[in-house]
Amino acid sequence: MNESKDKGAGWRKSLLAIFSKRYVRGAGYSFVVLFFILMVLLPTLFVLSLLVTGWGDIQATVLSNPTKMGIVWNAIGYSFGVAILVTLLDIAFGLPMAWFLVRRQFKGKALLNTLIDAPLAVPTAGLGVSVALFWTGVIGSPFLLLMLLHFTTTYPYMVRSLAAILNEIDIEYETAGRTFGASKLTAARTITLPLFRSGLATGAILCLAKALSETGGVMAALILLAGSSFGAGSGLNGTALIGVWKDCSKTYASPDQIPFYCGGVTDLTLKSALTFVSALLIILSLILLAVVKLLALKFKFPLKKVWPTFEARLSKGTVPKLRDAAAFGFLIFMVLIPSFFIAGYMFIGGGIPGVDWGSFWNGVLLSLSIAGVATAIDLLLGIPLAVLIARGRFRRFGTLLDVLVNIPYIVPSAALGISLGTFYATMGVKGVDVLLVTMAHVAFTFPFIVRNVVGALEGLDPGYEDTARTLGAKPFQVFKRISYPMIKPAVLAGAIMAFTRSVGETGATISVSSNVLTAPIMIVDKTKYGSRDLFTAGLLIALLTIICFIAIFAMRVLTNRRPRRA
């Protein structure tokens, strides 16, 4: 008994000694960085290189074809137009809500928090179905429908980011301003709002990225809106176009397998069109990100001028009440009810074709396994990368990695999928579609873990780690015994965000392979003209929502249990 214990200890000791060797650690970190660059970053951006090598094809089949170019520009315009407009409206309606959440104490705050996060639990394909059904007959314009859809997918991100930063801004500043005679509005506008920039930037980037990325929800909503006339004409955004063209650029065994929206013919030249659209989406989203970052740094809140009486009048009476009413109205009618409208469809009895339980459970299990494996890989390799970024000795290199890590998140996941698919096809990796889909999921969920852990480590007083070192702990022991227990909530939060995002992902899955039928893919399929089965879609949505909701709830509980501080 004792002997085996000693043996275990000896074994652990020698492992620790190996881990603590400087060159072993160096090799470990190099491996992690190499993995990130070769398996995450390179596949994500690979499609850009095809702009050069495949330029001839692109010119011949896309650039010289006015119809296709028209479709492409229209789709790009839809993607960016919707994303930017939605982000601006999110700011307008999210700001008062965040303010309300942080600055007011009231009963039911926890409930309101849960309600705001609730749409995050619904797989976005489900949101697409739900929003489209809710607005059926009212909305005829695809552009407007996409905006309404994206309120539900992005609003929680905006409120969360704004509330997080508002929480950190000391209310004392505002109180001080008010004791000097500023009205509530003047104080908030001139003192707190300028401190807000970073929160606004984070929120805007999250919303833009989410709106640009969304594929499954967009396809489901547009299919429901357009019915049999859904297809590669106008009225698609960038990611939906990728989804459609991906399906129509394949060879099918028999003509009746060709999706209805390809108009009965497949077109292999769409491959270079896909490359072109994906590359364009990637480049434009990176530019947009850079612009937002730059704005956040340079932008000065322009209104230095103060109108004391006017602003004082706005701070009292009906105006603030109207503002709060508008914020809540938006939350209820634009976000919550449309998100959960699908629930009604599950209770429609009778006349429903039998559910194919086999493929139903296969889809759910496949989704959960891909998400599970991707999250595990994220954790295993993302944590060391985060440590390197936050604690590494090479400052510039860390900052560079920090910027690069965000790229897979910013890039629309459908474009990422196309890029990654062509990368592995070019490398000659074939046949294991599930593996490739998993790699795509690793790529776009990787930033969740890394960002969260970097943030937590940067917030951690390095005094703990320094002290532990001088007390004789080796770097690995310091991490395991001291740092990790303190950042655990952030790690878990990152893992759950990565997991739920992966479970609900459509774009990165279909653009890599159309043979991997995860649950969100099935949801989109069930909306298709000809094979429509909203009951099964509703069941899938409900099941995935419950799973994700439990995960989000668990995250809330775990992160609220604050690490014990001295």
Among residues 466, 515, 531, 546, the one that binds another protein under rule CB under 8 A: 466
Using the rule CB under 8 A, is 325 a contact of another protein? Answer: no
Q: Which string of DSSP letters, residue by residue, matches 502-565?
A: HHT--HHHHTT-SS---HHHHHHHHTSTTS--HHHHHHHHHHHHHHHHHHHHHHHHHHHSPPP-
In whole angstroms, the minimum distance from the beta carbon of 458 to another protein comes to: 17
What string marks each residue from 346 to 375 as x (binds another protein by CB under 8 A) or -?
A: ------------------------------
Stretch 469-508 residues interacting with another protein (CB under 8 A): 469-474, 477, 481-482, 485-486
Among residues 136, 167, 467, 515, the one that binds another protein under rule CB under 8 A: 467
Using the rule CB under 8 A, is 563 a contact of another protein? Answer: yes
Could you tell me where the DSSP H helices lie in 392-483? Answer: 395-410, 413-427, 433-459, 462-470, 475-478
Residue 15 or 176: the one with the smaller Cβ distance to another protein is: 15
Using the rule CB under 8 A, is 4 a contact of another protein? Answer: no
Residue 9 or 268: the one with the smaller Cβ distance to another protein is: 9
CA distances from 220 to 140, 362, 522 (A): 15, 21, 10
Using the rule CB under 8 A, is 566 a contact of another protein? Answer: yes
In whole angstroms, the minimum distance from the beta carbon of 393 to another protein comes to: 9
Size of interface with another protein, in residues (CB under 8 A): 23
Given a contact cutoff of 8 angstroms between Cβ atoms, the answer to whether 24 and 379 are in contact is: no
Q: Could you tell me which residues come within 8 angstroms of residue 421 by beta carbon, excluding any fewer than 6 positions away?
A: 436, 440, 511, 512, 513
CA distances from 514 to 46, 129, 210, 244, 362 (A): 20, 20, 22, 11, 15
CB neighbour class for 482 (10 Å; exposed up to 12, middle 13-18, buried from 19) = middle
In whole angstroms, the minimum distance from the beta carbon of 482 to another protein comes to: 6
Q: Identify which of 121, 214, 152 has the alpha carbon closest to the alpha carbon of residue 499.
A: 121
User: Which residue stretch of 160-168, 194-202, 311-319, 463-471 sits at the interface with another protein (rule: CB under 8 A)?
Assistant: 463-471
Using the rule CB under 8 A, is 468 a contact of another protein? Answer: yes
Among residues 461, 546, 550, 561, the one that binds another protein under rule CB under 8 A: 461
In whole angstroms, the minimum distance from the beta carbon of 363 to another protein comes to: 41
Using the rule CB under 8 A, is 317 a contact of another protein? Answer: no
Sign of the Cα torsion 225, 229, 233, 238 reads positive
Separation between Cα atoms, residue 229 and residue 144, nearest integer Å: 18
Residue 143 or 484: the one with the smaller Cβ distance to another protein is: 484
Among residues 7, 8, 13, 429, the one that binds another protein under rule CB under 8 A: 13
Place of tokens 């409120």: 159
Using the rule CB under 8 A, is 3 a contact of another protein? Answer: no
Q: Identify which of 325, 412, 331, 326 has the alpha carbon closest to the alpha carbon of residue 119.
A: 331
Residue 9 or 550: the one with the smaller Cβ distance to another protein is: 9
Residue 477 or 514: the one with the smaller Cβ distance to another protein is: 477
In whole angstroms, the minimum distance from the beta carbon of 463 to another protein comes to: 4
Using the rule CB under 8 A, is 399 a contact of another protein? Answer: no
Using the rule CB under 8 A, is 565 a contact of another protein? Answer: yes
Three-state SS string over 39-82 comes to HHHHHHHHHHHHHHHCHHHHHHHHHCCHHHHHHHHHHHHHHHHH
Given a contact cutoff of 8 angstroms between Cβ atoms, the answer to whether 114 and 127 are in contact is: no
User: Which residue stretch of 88-96, 311-319, 430-438, 466-474 sits at the interface with another protein (rule: CB under 8 A)?
Assistant: 466-474
Enter the tokens of residue 321. Answer: 């009440």
What string marks each residue from 247 to 266 as x (binds another protein by CB under 8 A) or -?
A: --------------------
Give the binding site for another protein (CB under 8 A): 9, 13, 461, 463-464, 466-474, 477, 481-482, 485-486, 563-566
